[in-house]
Amino acid sequence: MTSDTTGRMAGRITDRLADRLTTRRGLVRLLAVLLPVVVGAGLALVRSGMDQSTAAMVLVLPVVAASATGDRVAGVLAALAAAGSFDFFLTEPYYSFSIHHRDDLELAVALVVVGLAVTEVALWGRRQQAAALRRDGYIRGLAQLLDAPADSGVQERAVAIGAAITEALGADRAEWVGTHPRWNDAVVGPDGRVTSGGRVVPVQRVGLPTEAWTALPVRRGDRVVGHFRVTAATRVVRPSAEQLRVAELLADRMAAVLERDRA
């Protein structure tokens, strides 16, 4: 299979994954709008025996559910839909978006503010969880490297370092190649920046290339003695600057392995 064929296959896989992600996001946002409306309509059936503040608290629940998806737009839509449902179903005049009482207006505004705050808190929690998972990946990768037997050869060490790089970046695979990177490879520099064709690739935004390899050069002095070829074709991988720096440091260990083998 040629590299062009592989690139086309990777591109098709990436396009399908992007389409699924877009479809899922659209469904989540649709439900984020519909669920508060359904809850508000249900509360309208028992509004005579329920305090409005209690009803407003119940309407916060679908906002929390929408925020838990990690989609800020879904959380905002849910907050606005909850406020609209509260106004339409639970404030006089009923089934109208008019508000004649100051207390009702304050509750509606508070519902929006609380909904937006819950959304931001949920997103902050997901970011912290993602950061913790990345750190766990670094540790697992280093553990794999350190678990290699002391008398293991160059190939065994290369496989261990490649596995550690894969864990650190969240990529599909990283394998040792004892040559210079190809002309069209994206290259990770010593500073952690990724360049392709002389231009910096904003991988935190667009992700690692899916139709080309990403190379982590290994140097002995000023000479490149090989590189780790990173594959990220089955999904979009957006490594942080910290992840790229860790991967670059792991790749540097290969220089020590080669030096020891030569000695």
Average pLDDT, the chain: 79
Nearest to 224 by CA among 216, 236, 232, 213: 216
Which DSSP string do the residues of 177-220 spell out, in sequence order? ESSPPPTTSEEE-TTS-EEETTEE--HHHH-S-SSS-EEEEEEE
83-114: per-residue pLDDT in tens?
Answer: 888 888 888 888 887 777 777 777 778 877 87
pLDDT (mean) for 37-64: 85
Q: Is the pLDDT of residue 46 over 50?
A: yes
145 within 8 A of 218, measured Cβ to Cβ: no
Number of domains in the chain: 2
Residues 7 and 127 occupy one common structural domain: yes
Domain assignment present for residue 140? The answer is: no
Q: What is the DSSP letter of 233?
A: -
Using a pLDDT cut of 70, give the percent of the chain over it: 81
User: Mean pLDDT lowest for which of 32-46, 120-134, 166-180, 211-225?
Assistant: 120-134
Residues 79 and 160 occupy one common structural domain: no
CATH number reported for the structural domain that contains residue 241 in this entry: 3.30.450.40
Domain assignment present for residue 78? The answer is: yes
Q: How far is it, in rounded angstroms, from Cα 60 to Cα 207? A: 35
- pLDDT band of residue 8 (cuts 50, 70, 90) is very low
Residues 196 and 167 occupy one common structural domain: yes
DSSP H helix total and E strand total for the chain: 7, 6
Residues 14 and 84 occupy one common structural domain: yes
Residues 204 and 126 occupy one common structural domain: no
Residues 111 and 170 occupy one common structural domain: no
Residue numbers of the domain that contains 75: 3-131
pLDDT (mean) for 51-74: 83
Within 8 A by CB and 6+ apart from 152, the residues are 160
Residues 77 and 105 occupy one common structural domain: yes
Residues 158 and 239 occupy one common structural domain: yes
Q: What is the dihedral of CA 54, 56, 61, 62, to 10 degrees?
A: 140
Q: What is the pLDDT of residue 177?
A: 92
Residues 123 and 221 occupy one common structural domain: no
Q: What is the dihedral of CA 45, 49, 52, 55, to 10 degrees?
A: -50
185-239: per-residue pLDDT in tens?
Answer: 999 988 888 998 888 988 888 889 888 899 999 988 788 889 999 999 888 888 8
